[in-house]
Amino acid sequence: MKYEEKFLIQFFIIFLTLFYTKLEHIEEETLLEEYLICRQCGSDITLTNFLIEKLSPVALSVVNQTIYENKRVLIQEVQNPLGIKFKIILLKQAHCAKFDTWSTIFSWFPGYAWKLCICPKCTGHLGWMFEPIETATKDQNFPSEKGFYALIYNNILLESYVNSLLMKESIFREN
Ligand SMILES: [Zn+2]
């Protein structure tokens, strides 16, 4: 084999190795866990990849629950000024419809302004969006990198849970 041919083959092997390493890396980065969907209409709202843990100093109670395989989630109970209690989970990302301006009145997270998170499809109340007060401007429609989402645990469902119910349903129908 000529020197040039050898060189070309070696170059090609190196190229392929690099290409596949890169591919693997991309797959690792975008590994999707589990969809959380709107309980009312079934729209995809977020992924369990985005769950975060941040305690509200005014939380009435906090539990750490396993919701999906080994995925633990911090569920905290908070209360609004009307005395209505909500169990919430926090996430870095979620799909909410555009909503009004930020409010700083009675925030469960000191230093953060909030606005409602409404389902973009059925307009059901899913929770709240939070953004640091200093960056909660009129132009900031959704939480920035420094903000987060608090979703009402009872208003969302794990997609795999819904699928398992549908599967059971079809088994019953077949029998
Ligand atoms: Zn919905």
* Span 51-107, pLDDT tens digits: 999 999 999 999 999 887 778 899 999 999 999 999 999 999 999 999 989 999 999
CATH class of 35-163: mainly beta
Tell me the CA–centroid distance for residue 38 and ligand 1, in Å: 5
Tell me the CA–centroid distance for residue 22 and ligand 1, in Å: 37
The secondary structure of 72-129, three-state, reads: EEEEEEEECCCCCEEEEEEECCCCCCCCCCCECCCCCCCCEEEEEEECCCCCCEEEEE
Tell me the CA–centroid distance for residue 130 and ligand 1, in Å: 20
Tell me the CA–centroid distance for residue 43 and ligand 1, in Å: 6
Tokens of 119: 């389902």
Q: Distance (Å, rounded) from C-alpha 140 to C-alpha 123?
A: 20
Q: Distance (Å, rounded) from C-alpha 25 to C-alpha 23?
A: 5
Question: Which pTM was predicted?
Answer: 0.78
Domain boundaries, the chain: 35-163
